[in-house]
Structure 1
Amino acid sequence: MPLLDATAPPPSRPCRILVAGTSGSGKTTLAGRLGAALGIPHVELDGLHHGPNWTPRASFADDVDRFSAQPAWVTEWQYRAVRPLLAERADLMVWLDLPRATVMRQVAARTLRRRWRREVLWNGNIEPPLHTVFTDPAHIVRWAWSTHPLTAQRVAEAVARRPEFPVIRLTARREVDAWVRQLRPVE
């Protein structure tokens, strides 16, 4: 199936939805909106993955296997260990293919806000000190920059494995908003 754009109506009654995109593109925000619009659970993968002190939780893959076996869910498409399983079980992918400048503005603003407010994230974690953007190659801002082109590759690989897999490609915030307005709750 070719990639569909924002003008394409959603497939009838999508129940298992992945939101793909670079870190900071708005995957979690969109996944939450989709869950609310469709009346299906949103499972935040970061909450399953990150344990205290940013350590990966040992039960992560099992937790993902368990929730993704359910009949309805929406989640972010991330983490190499579970990406193939999620792509196999999903019936729709929504790809946030936003320009790098937009993503960088969003991830930088989010990181600054979280750090400034010392927002508690998953399992008591908070964003590291801002200076670590210069010292930590895996800092989320640097990660978003370096991995931005990889999402297109990953989406293409998923479609190659499942040619019938519908992928909605959204390239701007206005497209996201227009597309979400078309959704109706799953019955």
Structure 2
Amino acid sequence: MQRILVVGISGAGKSTMARALSSRLAVPYHEMDALYFAGPGWAVNERFPAQVAEIAGSPAWVFDSFGYPAVRDLLWERADTVVWLDYPRRVIMPRILRRSLRRTLLRESIFNGNRESVAEWFRRDHPAWWAWSQHAARRADIQRRVHDPRFAPLNVIRLTAVRSSASWLGSVGHR
């Protein structure tokens, strides 16, 4: 495992898993949202596709995303391993609600100075709404990609429960 893509719906724990894999395998981790959002006000980084392509051309990396259509196929083509956090809504929703509530109440700075606000909770692209409404579609899209011959050979690790994820992660990097 040298080029690892961690995928799943918002709130699955992609960033947490990607950071842990990066640490255990000594492979550079790249937070997709931090690359995409250039600064406060949710400004988009115009160089995003070029930056991701440059990183994806390197011999070793871990990315934590499935989103961003501009680079999705590129990452799937270049990855040697996909770690799919395929958790049910009953696992995802409490996680994302707690995370967004904490970020909103504490005014945590995320992704280059951005912050979640109360007003954003009522937008369709808020992580909580997104995780709820896109869960089935995201799962189907990942399932389709896992079996797409364009992305072969690809080592797919599908984790469907938090305990199995923790157990699997505990075995990574130990020989």
Q: Check conservation: 2:80, 2:153, Cα contact below 8 A.
A: no
Q: Distance in 1 between matches of 2:153 and 2:140?
A: 17
- How far apart are 1:158 and its partner, in Å? 2.0
Matched residue, 2:132: 145
Could you list the runs of 4 or more consecutive aligned residues of structure 1 that deviate by over 6 angstroms after TM superposition? none
Matched residue, 1:7: none
SS state of the match for residue 7, structure 2? strand
SS state of the match for residue 141, structure 1? helix
SS state of the match for residue 157, structure 2? strand
What is the TM-score of this pair, normalised by structure 2? 0.92
Matched residue, 1:5: none
- How far apart are 1:75 and its partner, in Å? 0.7
Q: Which moved more, 1:58-67 or 1:144-153?
A: 144-153
Matched residue, 1:80: 69
SS state of the match for residue 143, structure 1? helix
Q: Check conservation: 1:20, 1:151, Cα contact below 8 A.
A: no
Percent of pairs identical after alignment?
A: 40
Matched residue, 2:59: 71
Mapped pair 1:33 → 2:20 = yes
Cα separation, partners in 2 of 1:185 and 1:40, compared to 1, 3 Å = farther
Q: Distance in 2 between matches of 1:158 and 1:65?
A: 19
Q: Distance in 1 between matches of 2:22 and 2:171?
A: 14
What is the TM-score of this pair, normalised by structure 1? 0.86
Q: Distance in 1 between matches of 2:60 and 2:30?
A: 10
RMSD: 1.6
TM alignment of 1:20-59, pairs within 5 A:
20-51=7-38, 52-59=40-47
TM alignment of 1:1-187, pairs within 5 A:
14-51=1-38, 52-77=40-65, 78-129=67-118, 131-133=119-121, 135-159=122-146, 160=148, 161-184=150-173
Structure 2: 5+ residue stretches without partners: none
Q: Distance in 2 between matches of 1:179 and 1:163?
A: 22
Q: Hey, which of these two has a bigger chunk of helix by percent?
A: 2
- How far apart are 1:95 and its partner, in Å? 0.3
Q: Which moved more, 1:88-97 or 1:109-118?
A: 109-118
Structure 1: 5+ residue stretches without partners: 1-13
